């Protein structure tokens, strides 16, 4: 009996050794060909700004006719203009004019440019016209009902697109690669939460509208990007007062400034945490 147990233990140890030290070699080598999150070194150098909707997809439409696609594009352009002043940053927009861009294209654009942060900008809509305020989302599966409703609405554009399914790399993954990917994903999620908190704090200090807090939901576009990613709903198109504010260029500039400040302060914290000194 004892001998048998010892044999079992040795076999177990050998399998563990194989799993921990031998297998990760080639698997790690393979994953490194995936989009690397942060570009050069440990500093965030590339920001991807994603104005929601566009072209045949207007997004939410206000009671007085203001369209979400116009509001978010304007805020995105203002935000880019502010961030462009920092010479160490490269800032890209997933669309810079009124055109339709499928969600999968937005994500692959961000991954190709090795973004360090992905920020999607949207404006909200609700059945009740009383709902107002701003909220920031990070990706997760566990959600409450209102968060699920927001994700369903923002994902509904998929009906206008050709669904491509999972990218090849994910489909052919071995279990181990999937585990490694999940670890990376957990890191991204924690960073996304941190950035979302910074944005909500900064926006609530700047804007005099309701802070609805940080939330999580399964947004398709966030699922596809290999970097910390968040989605900001800047106000409710379905609320008359929010719509009036969003129509005001000064208010949109305030939002853009608050977003830029949050991104820059996240970048500073990140640099410190990773011990990157220059
Ligand atoms: Zn939207």
Q: Which domain holds residue 15?
A: 1-33
Q: Which residues surround ligand 1, an ion (CB under 5 A)?
A: 52, 59, 122, 154
Q: Do 20 and 69 share a domain, yes or no?
A: no
Count how many domains the chain has: 2
Inside any domain, residue 250: yes
The predicted pLDDT at position 25 comes to 39
DSSP string, 139-184: E-S---HHHHHHHHHHHGGGGGS----S-HHHHT--HHHHHHHHHH
Q: Do 5 and 50 share a domain, yes or no?
A: no
DSSP secondary structure letter of residue 117: E
Measured in angstroms, how far is the CA atom of residue 88 from the centroid of ligand 1? 30
Nearest Cα to Cα of residue 230 among 84, 110, 70, 54: 110
Inside any domain, residue 166: yes
Could you tell me how far CA 272 lies from the centroid of its own chain?
A: 22
The predicted pLDDT at position 221 comes to 84
Measured in angstroms, how far is the CA atom of residue 103 from the centroid of ligand 1? 11
Q: How would you write the pLDDT of the chain (278 residues) with one tens digit per residue?
A: 455 555 565 555 544 444 444 444 333 333 333 333 444 346 899 999 999 999 999 999 999 999 999 999 999 999 999 999 999 999 999 999 999 999 999 999 999 999 999 999 999 999 899 999 999 998 876 556 777 778 888 888 776 654 343 344 444 555 666 666 677 778 888 999 999 999 999 999 988 788 999 998 888 888 888 899 999 999 999 999 999 999 999 999 999 999 999 999 999 988 877 654 43
Measured in angstroms, how far is the CA atom of residue 231 from the centroid of ligand 1? 9
CATH number of domain containing 159: 3.40.630.40
Both tokens assigned to 124: 């909200």
Q: Do 1 and 84 share a domain, yes or no?
A: no
Bridge partners of residue 89, in order along the sequence: none
* Neighbour-count burial for 163-197, b at 16+ CB within 10 Å, e otherwise: eeeeeeeeeebeebbeebbeeeeeebbebbbbbbb
Q: Do 163 and 129 share a domain, yes or no?
A: yes
Q: Do 214 and 249 share a domain, yes or no?
A: yes
DSSP secondary structure letter of residue 35: P
Q: Do 196 and 266 share a domain, yes or no?
A: yes
The predicted pLDDT at position 83 comes to 98
The predicted pLDDT at position 31 comes to 37
Inside any domain, residue 206: yes
* Neighbour-count burial for 201-230, b at 16+ CB within 10 Å, e otherwise: bbbbeebebbebebbbbbbbbbebbbbbbb
Inside any domain, residue 22: yes
Measured in angstroms, how far is the CA atom of residue 256 from the centroid of ligand 1? 17
Q: Do 167 and 197 share a domain, yes or no?
A: yes
The predicted pLDDT at position 165 comes to 39
Measured on CA atoms in the order 247, 129, 217, 54, is the torsion positive or negative? negative
The predicted pLDDT at position 143 comes to 59
Q: Do 64 and 147 share a domain, yes or no?
A: yes
Measured in angstroms, how far is the CA atom of residue 2 from the centroid of ligand 1? 65
Q: Do 239 and 195 share a domain, yes or no?
A: yes
Inside any domain, residue 278: no
Measured in angstroms, how far is the CA atom of residue 235 from the centroid of ligand 1? 11
Q: Do 182 and 99 share a domain, yes or no?
A: yes
Q: Do 196 and 99 share a domain, yes or no?
A: yes
Inside any domain, residue 88: yes
Cα angle value 214/58/151 (rounded, 5°): 30
Measured in angstroms, how far is the CA atom of residue 275 from the centroid of ligand 1? 37
The predicted pLDDT at position 162 comes to 44
* The model scores a pTM over 0.85: no
Q: Do 17 and 133 share a domain, yes or no?
A: no
What is the four-CA torsion angle of 239, 203, 119, 157, rounded to 10 degrees?
A: -10
Both tokens assigned to 242: 């929010």
Distance CA 10, CA 119 (A): 50
Measured in angstroms, how far is the CA atom of residue 3 from the centroid of ligand 1? 65
């Amino acid at each position: 009996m004892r001998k048998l147990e010892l044999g079992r233990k040795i076999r177990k140890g050998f399998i563990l050794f194989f799993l921990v030290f031998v297998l990760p070699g080639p698997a790690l080598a393979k994953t490194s060909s995936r989009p690397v999150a942060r570009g050069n070194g440990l500093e965030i150098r590339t920001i991807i700004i994603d104005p929601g909707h566009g072209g045949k997809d207007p997004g939410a439409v206000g009671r007085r006719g203001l369209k979400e696609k116009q509001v978010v594009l304007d805020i995105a352009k203002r935000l880019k203009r502010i961030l462009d002043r920092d010479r160490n940053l490269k800032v890209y927009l997933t669309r810079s004019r009124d055109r339709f861009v499928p969600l999968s294209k937005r994500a692959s654009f961000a991954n190709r440019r090795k973004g360090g942060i992905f920020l999607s900008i949207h404006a909200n809509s609700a059945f009740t016209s009383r709902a107002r305020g701003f909220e920031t989302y990070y990706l997760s599966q566990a959600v409450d009902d209102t968060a699920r409703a927001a994700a369903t609405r923002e994902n509904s554009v998929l009906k206008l697109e050709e669904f491509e399914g999972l990218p090849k790399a994910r489909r052919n993954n071995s279990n181990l690669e999937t585990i490694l990917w999940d670890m990376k994903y957990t890191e991204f999620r924690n960073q996304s939460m941190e950035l979302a908190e910074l944005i909500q704090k900064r926006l609530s200090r700047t804007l005099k509208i309701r802070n609805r807090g940080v939330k999580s939901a399964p947004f398709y576009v966030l699922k596809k990007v290999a970097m910390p990613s968040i989605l900001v709903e800047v106000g409710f198109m379905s609320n008359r007062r929010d719509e009036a504010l969003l129509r005001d260029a000064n208010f949109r500039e305030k939002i853009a400034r608050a977003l830029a400040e949050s991104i820059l302060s996240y970048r500073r914290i990140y640099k410190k945490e990773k011990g990157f000194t220059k």
